[in-house]
Structures are given as structure tokens and as C-alpha cells.
């Protein structure tokens, strides 16, 4: 078994593609991609906020105050249009970014003229922030009109507040910052970790099963004096080692990049988040990934043994990504918690546990169910893998 394991590990370390999936991907590529996506998103939002918007104003004579607010050349540019213009067409052909239509009853005397319905025509399909930027202007005018009406009615501040909002439902959040951030970030963490572990195990699994068939070296291995069960164990350990190393490097990458961003670059959000998560939490996240990797390894090795060629193995392994994502999605559904039967559902229970660890609300007794169920499933799948490898009709399809 160890002879096979050492032989596979040597071949694994010689394969640059496998090393890329195991080390470069979780340590550098994924953090780099996430960083680039964040940077590009911020640039897009900044551009949308500072872009000069072309606009047309209908009924400007009724709202000189809004006309004045829109006279900011660094933000807005007036475009004259005909009174009977098709607003949809001129927005679609990008003559203007929006059309603002002021009604005749627009007035600061709201007690006399009632509510004015100001219409904003714009294309809301993309990121343009038109509504937010125009609404800031209209909202400020609305508050001035409201204040004027209250003054004419002789209402004090308390009466004004009561009139605006007779009933208030005050939200008192009992969750601390860690629980709030953990709910948002912890739920997404399994997507990243599971898929990276699966990818890290997939490359060697394809090679040491289907790859050996294709190269014709599997027959040589089978006629060697090594017991078949030990051959399977050696190959299984190789795949599990690759997946586990990928998991370890991924978790270490999270810690390292978290420290770099929080301590080195002093990013407050990351610093607050990292300050609330202990090393023990990261260690438990890694340990829970180990039996999950064992499940992936057993399934991937079974597929690789069955496949006739490298390409066929890749075709069979591709849909595994979807099969992994489904139990992670279950962990995000409302009402699904790390209690009762859910603590025994493989992959879903680990996803829930990761979220609880990040939130700081983990019930550590549930670790027995998590490790117990995951190890049992992994053992059963490995037993199937051994059975599968001993089937001549499978080995020589």
C-alpha cells in the first residue's frame, strides 16, 4: 500500500498541472480573482456615481427649485427634447440618461395642492445609479415642503414625528458583529472551500485511474505482488492527500490574506472580522474538510477506475460540481440549522458547521454527528471503491 502511495505521490509532484490546482489556485489565483472582482466592482460603482448624466426636464416651470438643483455641470447636463418625444426611444438611443416629468400641482404648499407625483423615466437594467442620484434631489425638496407644511400647521417636533410615522417598529438586534458578519460570509465559505478541494482532488484522481488505463500501466500494476486492496488504498490516499493539502493550503491562504489585509493594509472590515475568529475555528474548519475530502476521493477514484480514458473520466467528474453545490445550497435555506437530522446530512452539516463557527455560535457537541456521519459515508464509499476495483469487467471495459 505504502509503495503504491509513494509511487503515486512522486508522479503527483512531477505533474505541474496537479500542483497548480493544489497550491497556486487556492493560495494565489482565487484570492487574486476575488480581489480583482472587488476592485472592478468598486471602480464601476465610482464611475456610475461620478458620471455626468444627460437629462431632459418636462414641466420645469412648475419646479424652479429642482431646476436649480440639477444645474450642476459636474453631475448633470440638460438636453432639450420636443414635448411629444418618445421617452423610451430617446433613452434607448442614449440621447438622455433620464427624463424627469414634473406635474402641474408641484408646489411647496402641499396642504393646498396635495401630493405631487414626479415621474422619472430611465433604463434601470444596468448599474447607473440614476434613481438614487435624482431621488437625493427630489427627497431634499420633499423634506423642505413637508417642513413648510408642518410650520404652517404649528406642529412641534414631537407632533411632526408622530404625524409622519404614527407607529414605529423599532428593531433591536441582539446579534453581535461577529454573528452578523458570520451569517453573511459563513454561508458562502463552503462554496469556495468545497469546490477548491474537489478541484484539487480531481486532477490526480483522473490520472491515477483512467490515466493509467490509457497509458497501459495499470496491467503492470495488477500483476505485481501487491494485494489489490492495498493498491486501491494507496491510490485513495494519494487523492485524499492532494485534496487535504489543497484544503490546508486554502485555509492557510485565508488566514494569511486575512492578516495581510487587516494588519498590513489596515482594512477595517477585514481587521474586525479577523479579530473575532480564533485559530481554533480555522483548525476545526480544516479538520471538518478532511472527511469530506475522503468522500470526494472515494467517488472520484471509483469514476476514474470505471472510465476508459482520461477524457471520459473528466466528462463523468464534471457534474460532480453540481452534486456538491446542491447540499451546500440546502444549508442556506431558511429554517435549516445544525440541529436534529440536519447534523447527520453529509456535506450539508459541514456547511452549516462552518457558518456557525464563523458566527461564533457553534454547538461543539454536534461535531460528533458531523464527523460520525461523514466518516461512515466516506468508509462506505471507499468499500465500494475496493469492490469496484476488484471487478474485472470494470477494469477492462
- Answer whether residue 264 shows pLDDT above 70: no
Q: Are strands 98-101 and 53-58 parallel, antiparallel or unpaired?
A: parallel
Specify the range with the lowest mean pLDDT, choosing from 54-58, 79-83, 236-240.
79-83
Average pLDDT over residues 298-326: 83
CB 382 within 8 A of CB 294: yes
- Answer whether residue 177 shows pLDDT above 80: no
Whether residue 31 lies inside any domain: the answer is no
CB 38 within 8 A of CB 118: no
Average pLDDT over residues 354-380: 86
CB 208 within 8 A of CB 8: yes
| Boundary-marking domain end, from 102, 137, 164 | 164
- Answer whether residue 54 shows pLDDT above 80: yes
Q: Specify the pLDDT at position 330.
A: 84
Beta-carbon contacts of residue 277 (< 8 Å; ≥ 6 apart): 178, 357, 358, 360
Q: Specify the pLDDT at position 18.
A: 67
| Boundary-marking domain end, from 164, 197, 221 | 164
- Answer whether residue 165 shows pLDDT above 70: yes
Q: Specify the pLDDT at position 127.
A: 65
pLDDT tens string 106-122: 887 877 888 888 899 98
Ramachandran bin of 100, using left for φ above 0, alpha for ψ from -120 to 50, beta for the remaining angles: beta
Whether residue 169 lies inside any domain: the answer is no
pLDDT tens string 101-157: 988 888 878 778 888 888 999 888 766 678 888 888 888 888 888 888 888 888 888
Q: Which residues pair with 286 in a beta bridge?
A: none
Is the domain of 141 the same as that of 222? no
Whether residue 26 lies inside any domain: the answer is no
CA distance 109 to 278: 59
Is the domain of 204 the same as that of 323? yes
CA distance 112 to 376: 75
Question: What's 134's domain CATH number?
Answer: 3.40.190
- Answer whether residue 370 shows pLDDT above 80: yes
Whether residue 35 lies inside any domain: the answer is no
Average pLDDT over residues 9-25: 70
Is the domain of 257 the same as that of 153? no
Whether residue 77 lies inside any domain: the answer is yes
- Answer whether residue 272 shows pLDDT above 80: no
CA distance 356 to 336: 12
Cell of 175: 446579534
Q: Specify the pLDDT at position 322.
A: 80
Kindly indicate the confidence band of residue 70, based on its pLDDT and cuts at 50, 70 and 90. confident
Q: Give the SS3 label for residue 128.
A: coil
- Answer whether residue 78 shows pLDDT above 80: yes
Is the domain of 271 the same as that of 317? yes
Range of the domain at 309: 176-396
Average pLDDT over residues 45-72: 86
Q: Which residues pair with 53 in a beta bridge?
A: 76
Kindly indicate the confidence band of residue 317, based on its pLDDT and cuts at 50, 70 and 90. confident
Whether residue 2 lies inside any domain: the answer is no
129 φ/ψ angles, rounded to the nearest 5 degrees: 60, 25
Is the domain of 282 the same as that of 342? yes
| Boundary-marking domain end, from 137, 164, 191 | 164
Is the domain of 144 the same as that of 181? no
CA distance 275 to 300: 38
Element (H, E) at 198: helix 189-206
Of 379, 372, 374, 380, which Cα lies nearest the Cα of 346?
374
Report the share of the chain in percent with pLDDT over 70.
Answer: 92
Q: Which residue has the cell 493498491?
A: 231
Is the domain of 205 the same as that of 335? yes
User: 205: how many CB neighbours lie within 10 A of its CB?
Assistant: 32
Q: Specify the pLDDT at position 273.
A: 67
Q: Specify the pLDDT at position 336.
A: 80
CB 178 within 8 A of CB 276: yes
Domain count, the chain: 2
Return the higher-pLDDT residue of 18 and 258.
Answer: 258
Is the domain of 86 the same as that of 153? yes
The residue length of the chain stands at: 397
Is the domain of 250 the same as that of 125? no
pLDDT tens string 214-253: 877 777 777 777 788 888 888 888 888 888 888 788 778 7
Is the domain of 142 the same as that of 255? no
Cell of 349: 452539516
Kindly indicate the confidence band of residue 380, based on its pLDDT and cuts at 50, 70 and 90. very high
CB 374 within 8 A of CB 292: yes
Amino acid at each position: 500500500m505504502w509503495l503504491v502511495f509513494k509511487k503515486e505521490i512522486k508522479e503527483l509532484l512531477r505533474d505541474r498541472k496537479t500542483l497548480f490546482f493544489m497550491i497556486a489556485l487556492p493560495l494565489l489565483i482565487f484570492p487574486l480573482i476575488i480581489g480583482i472582482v472587488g476592485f472592478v466592482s468598486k471602480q464601476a460603482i465610482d464611475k456610475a456615481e461620478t458620471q455626468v448624466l444627460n437629462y431632459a426636464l418636462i414641466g420645469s416651470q412648475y419646479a424652479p427649485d429642482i431646476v436649480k438643483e440639477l444645474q450642476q455641470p459636474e453631475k448633470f447636463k440638460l438636453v432639450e427634447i420636443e414635448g411629444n418625444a418618445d421617452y423610451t426611444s430617446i433613452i434607448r438611443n442614449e440621447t438622455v440618461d433620464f427624463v424627469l416629468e414634473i406635474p402641474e400641482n408641484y408646489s411647496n404648499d402641499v396642504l393646498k395642492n396635495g401630493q405631487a407625483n414626479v415621474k422619472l423615466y430611465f433604463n434601470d437594467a444596468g448599474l447607473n445609479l440614476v434613481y438614487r442620484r435624482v431621488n437625493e434631489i427630489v427627497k431634499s425638496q420633499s423634506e423642505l415642503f413637508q417642513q413648510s407644511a408642518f410650520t404652517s400647521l404649528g406642529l412641534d417636533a414631537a407632533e411632526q414625528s408622530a404625524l409622519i410615522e404614527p407607529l414605529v417598529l423599532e428593531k433591536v438586534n441582539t446579534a453581535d458583529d461577529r454573528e452578523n458578519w458570520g451569517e453573511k460570509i459563513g454561508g458562502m465559505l463552503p462554496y469556495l472551500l468545497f469546490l477548491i478541494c474537489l478541484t484539487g482532488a480531481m486532477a490526480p484522481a483522473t490520472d491515477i485511474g483512467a490515466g493509467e488505463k490509457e497509458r497501459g500501466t495499470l496491467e503492470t500494476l495488477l500483476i505485481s505482488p501487491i494485494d489489490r486492496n492495498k493498491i486501491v488504498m494507496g491510490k485513495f490516499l494519494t487523492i485524499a492527500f492532494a485534496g487535504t493539502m489543497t484544503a490546508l493550503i486554502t485555509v492557510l491562504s485565508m488566514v494569511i490574506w486575512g492578516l495581510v489585509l487587516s494588519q498590513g493594509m489596515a482594512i477595517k472590515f477585514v481587521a474586525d472580522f479577523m479579530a473575532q475568529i480564533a485559530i481554533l475555528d480555522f483548525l476545526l474548519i480544516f479538520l471538518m474538510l478532511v472527511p469530506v475530502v475522503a468522500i470526494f476521493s472515494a467517488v472520484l477514484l471509483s469514476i476514474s477506475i470505471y472510465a476508459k480514458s482520461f477524457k471520459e473520466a473528466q466528462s463523468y467528474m464534471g457534474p460532480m460540481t453540481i452534486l456538491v453545490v446542491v447540499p451546500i445550497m440546502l444549508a442556506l435555506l431558511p429554517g435549516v440549522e445544525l440541529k436534529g437530522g440536519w447534523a447527520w446530512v453529509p456535506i450539508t452539516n459541514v456547511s452549516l458547521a462552518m457558518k456557525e463557527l464563523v458566527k461564533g455560535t457553534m454547538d461543539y457537541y454536534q461535531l460528533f454527528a458531523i464527523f460520525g456521519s461523514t466518516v461512515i459515508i466516506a468508509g462506505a464509499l471507499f468499500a465500494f471503491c475496493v469492490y469496484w476495483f476488484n471487478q474485472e469487467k470494470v477494469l477492462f471495459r
